[in-house]
Amino acid sequence: MPTALLLIAHGSRRTEANADLEFIAAQLRARGRYPIVGVAYLEFAEPTIATGGAQCVAAGATEVILVPYFLSPGVHVVDDLAAARDSLQERFPQVHFALAQPLGRHPLLVEVVEQRANEAAEESPYAPSSGFAHHR
């Protein structure tokens, strides 16, 4: 019974902003744990959540896990994504739709934030000299 992941981001009018979600989806596909990995956007980009969910079902998913690519459980995650899940469940009663938690307080996110800060500090003109010239 194939389980699909449907990664959901807010969406942007800027194509390059939406490319991050496509990158994450490609990385998850390459790992092979989930046979179906799709993307969807709440607004400003395609596919919509309804379309993305339908694509997962058309690909043979019997379970679809909606994964919010959001940091916190704000209005979009708590209300909008829950409503989207309920709508998909009603439209496809033979498929189970589950809504995962947003990225927010996951311990690995702390490591990512610290790594990004360290990268910026290394590029800073105020960083202690390590013998290498800093170029911008």
Q: Tens digit of pLDDT for each residue in 62-98? A: 999 999 999 988 887 889 999 999 999 999 999 999 9
Range of the domain at 96: 3-123
Q: Tens digit of pLDDT for each residue in 19-44? A: 999 999 999 999 999 999 999 999 99
The pLDDT assigned to 41 comes to 97
Domain membership flag for residue 132: no
Q: Which two tokens stand for residue 2?
A: 């194939």
Tell me, what CATH number does 84's domain have? 3.40.50.1400
Tell me how far CA of residue 66 lies from CA of 37, 53, 101, 126, 136, in angstroms. Answer: 10, 9, 9, 43, 40
Domain membership flag for residue 136: no
Domain membership flag for residue 74: yes
Domain membership flag for residue 94: yes
Domain membership flag for residue 104: yes
Domain membership flag for residue 134: no
Indicate the number of domains in the chain: 1
Query: What pTM was estimated for this model as a whole?
Result: 0.85
CA atoms within 13 A on the CB side of 56: 35
